[in-house]
Amino acid sequence: MTGSDLTRNMQWRIAAHPQRWLGLMLLPLHGATAWGFQPAWSYPFLLVHFGLFLMWQPLWRGERTIAAPRAGLLILSVLALLLVSGWWLITLWLAVLLGVIGGTMPGVGARRQRLVYLLAALYLLSMLLMWAVPNLLFKRQELPTVAFLVRYGLLPLPVLIMFIRVEAQRPGLAYAVDFFYSVMLFLLVVVLVLGSFAVMTLTQEAYPLALAKTLVAMAAALLLASWLWNPLGGFAGLGHLLSRYVLSVGLPFERWLQEIAVLAEREADPAAFLRNAMTGIAELPWVAGGEWRTREDHGSFGERARHSVEFSFHSFTLVLHTRWRLSPALALHVKLLTQLLGYFFEAKLREQALKQNAYTQAIYETGARLTHDVKNLLQSLKTLCAAAESSDAGQADALQALMKRQLPQVAQRLQGTLEKLQAPASGTEGESAAAGPWWHSLCQRHAGSRIDFHGGPDDPAQRVPAELFDSVADNLLQNALEKRKQQRELRIGVEFSGAVGGVLTVCDDGVPVEAGTAARLGSAPVRSESGLGIGLYQAARQARQRGYRLELTENRPGRVCFALRRDGG
């Protein structure tokens, strides 16, 4: 095994079993203090203790490589502490260790791991109150019972910590130290020590009794503070006041948020929205000026100052020049402010993109529908040309009559298509026509296509949307005629019923539509060998816009039917 492998193995053992290093760290501390502080043996023990503390400490990852300057500074600090070491240093160090361990406990979820930290806190607190404080403040002759209890009664605690079986941590996973908890616990220990000394001095009582009175007073104060933090009866407590202070320090957050919301509703342009929002930020008393940048635009306001802070959110970057250095709470507010502006700005960009997509989609749908109308008109013209080519001199009168009937209708429909191309926003609903003449015209247009027409309107004056029925009928019949090219003997039938709104049905006796294709008809474009596959999709969309629905009513061998009827009919 190479040296690097040994190093990695050592680092993994340190990270995986922190409780062992915690127990090992407490043992030399016990040896340096339990038998009195004597330089002959206390200095070596403390040096070992500081080294083990650096291997255990949860402040930063123990496997990280420390730069040479920082390592030198760390060594000099340890040596300086050793030179000035005494009971003052021991007392202060025990309080610091107690704060670090207490700040680590909130992030620990494993039961045995919490037990390890509880035992370590018990050991440090006992050593502090029973041994370090009396030696620091009183310097009187030690009691044999207390000395024996400290030297031999507390010694099993570090040993027990080392041998508690705790689940190994994953590499790179470390418990975070809550700085607030650590500081509060450290201050409580300091108050306990100094309070005991003050009570003992004022009342001339023994140290154990003064310590007990101080503990009772601190417990009562903590109980009162916990009640004031969240009192009963519906009254707001200190916790609510502190939260309001943290959320409003230096920034009228609610008022600014309301102004931004109103501005977002009123201003649609993203760049104009940002410019107006920057005007509101410039009115804050602690803001001297600032700059903002996006992918497409940038701007500035106010003037530069000594202090500046930069925040980014996606494509939005905000640089604020402040009159003084921002506190952590105020920096958090600025970060939230930047995120809110970024969210609103991204929403404006998406809204703008949606409008452009909607405009493009409207152009596409109009062009696709009119393209199919032109295609159907071209098919009608081809039918008339085929009739003219196949006729002889004896059919001249009949051909002339057919041309007189069909050509005006084709010209009228083509004129309507051109008008929609010139003004797509007008006349989108189309005009209604009498059902009788419309049905007769449809039969005449396809008189030579071997299509069976059945039924008809009960009331010839019944009104139907002629444009919609023409578009759907032409699409369905064109698809059926294309299908006949593959199935020579295909029979096509068209039926019109005078039900509410009119019902148009087109059927053939060919093979059914595939299940996958049938499920998508009318809801999405489908693959087509003779076109783009969007004819029925456009016809179905047009039907929904007019309150109708186009659906595949039957789909079985020998019976394939499409029906156009009023929605809900």
Q: What are the two backbone dihedrals, phi and then psi, of residue 135, each rounded to the nearest 5 degrees?
A: -70, -30
Whether residue 28 contacts residue 52, with contact meaning beta carbons closer than 8 Å, is answered with yes
**Terminal CA-CA length for the chain:** 84
Q: Check residue 122 and give its pLDDT.
A: 93
Give kind and range of the element (H or E) at residue 469. helix 466-486
* Confidence grade of residue 359 (pLDDT, cut at 50, 70, 90): low
Q: What pLDDT does residue 160 have? A: 93
Asked whether residue 254 carries a pLDDT value surpassing 80, the answer given is no
CA-to-CA separations, 556 to 467, 475, 480, 507, 522, in angstroms, rounded: 30, 21, 15, 11, 18
- Say whether pLDDT at 332 is over 60: yes
Torsion of CA 539, 379, 441, 497, to 10 degrees: -40
Q: Which residue has the higher pLDDT, 241 or 531?
A: 241
User: What pLDDT was estimated at residue 428?
Assistant: 46
Query: Which of 27-31, 310-314, 397-401, 430-434 has maximum average pLDDT?
Result: 27-31
Task: Say which range, 158-162, 229-233, 389-393, 491-495, has the weakest mean pLDDT.
Answer: 229-233
Instruction: Report the pLDDT value the prediction gives residue 154, as an integer from 0 to 100.
Output: 92
Q: Which domains does the chain have, with CATH numbers?
A: 3-229 (no CATH), 250-359 (no CATH), 432-569 (3.30.565.10)
Quote the pLDDT of residue 291: 87
Report yes or no: 273 and 345 within 8 Å, Cβ to Cβ: yes
pLDDT at 565 over 70: yes
Q: Which residue has the tokens 């209604």?
A: 432
Give tens-digit pLDDT for 158-208: 999 988 887 665 544 455 677 788 888 999 999 999 999 899 889 888 888
Which amino acid is it at 309?
V
Residues in the chain: 569
Model confidence band, residue 370 (pLDDT cutoffs 50, 70, 90): low
What is the model's pLDDT at position 505? Answer: 92
Q: For 377-408, what is each residue's pLDDT tens digit?
A: 676 677 667 667 766 766 677 667 667 766 77
What is the layout of strands, in order, in the sheet containing 492-497? Answer: 451-455, 492-497, 503-508, 559-566, 548-556
More confident residue, 131 or 522: 131
**Residue 127: its pLDDT value, please?**
93
Q: Which of 181-190, 208-217, 369-378, 500-509 has the lowest mean pLDDT?
A: 369-378
CA-to-CA distance for 464 and 471, rounded, in angstroms? Answer: 13
Q: What is the pLDDT of residue 426?
A: 45
Query: Hey, what are 29's tokens?
Result: 């501390």
Which range (219-228, 236-245, 400-409, 452-461) has the least confidence?
236-245
Residue written as token pair 């502190």 = 242
What Cα–Cα distance (Å) separates residue 298 from each residue in 309, 343, 535? 17, 17, 47
Residue 156: pLDDT above 90?
yes
What does 152-171 look like in DSSP terms, one character per residue? IISTHHHHHHHHS--PPPPT
pLDDT of residue 126: 93
User: CA–CA separation, 514 vs 492, rounded Å?
Assistant: 19
pLDDT band at 137 (very low <50, low <70, confident <90, very high): confident
Question: Does the pLDDT at position 250 exceed 50?
Answer: no
Given a cut of 70, is residue 238 above it in pLDDT? no
What is the model's pLDDT at position 352?
A: 79
| Cβ-defined contacts of 248-256 (< 8 Å, 24+) | 249/327, 249/329, 249/330, 249/333, 250/284, 250/285, 250/286, 250/327, 250/329, 250/330, 250/333, 251/284, 251/330, 251/333, 251/337, 253/333, 256/280, 256/337
Question: pTM surpassing 0.85?
Answer: no
Residue 2 has pLDDT above 80, yes or no: no
Rounded percentage of the chain residues whose pLDDT exceeds 90: 12
Confidence (pLDDT) at 158: 92
Q: Evaluate if residue 436 carries a pLDDT over 70.
A: yes
Tell me the DSSP string of 120-148: HHHHHHHHIIIIIHHHHHT--PPPHHHHH
pLDDT category, 427, cuts 50, 70, 90?
Answer: very low
For residues 467 and 471, what is the distance between their CA atoms, to the nearest angstrom?
A: 6
pLDDT tens for each residue of 44-100? 888 888 888 888 877 655 545 666 776 777 777 777 766 766 788 889 899 999 998
Task: State whether the Cα torsion 510-513-514-515 is positive or negative.
Answer: negative
Residue type, 63: E
Q: Of 5-19, 52-66, 510-524, where does the model show the most confidence?
A: 510-524
Report which DSSP code applies to 513: P
Report which of residues 44 and 423 the model is more confident about.
44
